[in-house]
A and B are shown apart, each in its own frame.
Chain A
């Protein structure tokens, strides 16, 4: 059962990563082509450090990948991660369905 192999943590991480307009914009841009972190920082009215933090959240959620190239940090979309994201979103509901089943079992014990 795929559902049993899912941790809530994976789903939460994904939802939270996408729950921000800047992060969604970063994902959209870097899936179309790679950007350096400083290149991204130039696009938003926020500090380099703030953009770096957003990238780190996306990286943890496996939505983007980051690699060091010379003095630059290059960010690009993580296609495998996005595919997984899709699956996780579809299965979040199943997690709760399973929980409800377990609750029913416990209640049936009296």
Chain B
């Protein structure tokens, strides 16, 4: 099992996952840097991802689509924010319409990948956060955790209500 720990913070809309791989940092970096390798693991086997643009440099964009078992092709985009080979990668990702144009209303998510050399082995830490401008503003005001606790609690309450009905 490559995953050694994961911190799922629904309240904070973040997931931090730590995995260790029996390969050098440079090799692990390739699975992010090379779109053909990335395609092999980003989507599940029956929702494979295809990257048709991959401009791997800070400020560069990547466009991809996934192919569903029904033959639909939902599209997404990445924008690379930080690339420090072979240790650090940060990018935003979001949805696009069928022509590849980003759907602004949905906001975007953010991923930060860190690779650490463990003497031939590699520890990969991924932090995914989901945010929007409104959310960032709100984070400052009330603290991220407080915000989503409310949403999670609300889902619980609704489900409980539903169960009684």
Contact = CB atoms under 8 A, between A and B. Distances in A.
Contacts of B109: 12, 15-16
B161 A13 contact: no
A15 to B, nearest CB: 4
Interface residues of B, number: 58
Contacts of A4: 44-47
Interface string A49-84: 000010011001000000000000000010100110
Contact of A93 (B15, B106, B154, B159): B15
A31 to B, nearest CB: 5
Nearest to B72: A7
- Dominant secondary structure at the B interface: mixed
B40 to A, nearest CB: 6
B19 interface: yes
Nearest to A78: B158
A3 B44 contact: yes
Contacts of B142: 21
B130 interface: yes
Interface string A6-23: 111100110110111110
A100 to B, nearest CB: 4
B8 A93 contact: yes
- Dominant secondary structure at the A interface: helix
Interface in B43-79: 43-47, 66, 68, 74, 76
A102 B40 contact: yes
Contacts of B42: 99
Given A18-B151, A82-B159, A99-B41, A104 B135 contact: no
B85 interface: no
A10 to B, nearest CB: 10
Nearest to B148: A18
A28 B154 contact: yes
B101 interface: no
A30 to B, nearest CB: 10
The 7 A-B pairs of least Cβ separation, nearest first, read: A102-B41, A15-B130, A100-B19, A107-B23, A19-B135, A104-B2, A100-B2
22 contacts: A5-B46, A7-B66, A12-B106, A13-B106, A15-B109, A19-B13, A20-B132, A21-B134, A22-B134, A31-B154, A31-B158, A57-B106, A82-B158, A82-B162, A93-B8, A100-B2, A101-B2, A102-B41, A103-B28, A104-B2, A106-B41, A107-B28
